[in-house]
């Protein structure tokens, strides 16, 4: 996809999700600020809910 940041080689085996990361705060009704490691500091730390995945806890 155009404008999509990838973390490996382009193609079928691209990583689609990275993480898990801690949610620091709710910015708006549909946006959350996520705690990113220093290696991902070039990325914006606020994400829309459609870009986040809920992980089940046991």
pLDDT for the residue 9 = 60
pLDDT for the residue 42 = 85
pLDDT for the residue 50 = 79
Mean residue pLDDT of the chain comes to 77
Is 35 part of any domain? yes
Quote the domain boundaries for residue 30: 19-53
Is 29 part of any domain? yes
Give how many domains the chain has, as a whole number: 1
Question: Omega before 20 cis (within 30°)?
Answer: yes
- pLDDT tens per residue, range 6-33: 555 666 666 667 778 888 999 999 998 9
Is 14 part of any domain? no
Nearest to 33 by CA among 16, 48, 53, 19: 48
| Of residues 3 and 50, more confidently modeled | 50
Is 45 part of any domain? yes
Does the pLDDT of residue 1 top 50, yes or no? no
Is 9 part of any domain? no
Is 26 part of any domain? yes
């Amino acid at each position: 996809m155009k404008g999509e940041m990838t973390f490996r080689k382009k193609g079928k085996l691209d990583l689609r999700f990275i993480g898990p990361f801690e949610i620091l705060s709710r910015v708006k009704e549909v946006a959350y600020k996520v705690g990113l490691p220093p290696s991902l500091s070039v990325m914006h730390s606020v994400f829309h809910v459609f870009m986040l995945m809920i992980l089940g806890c046991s």
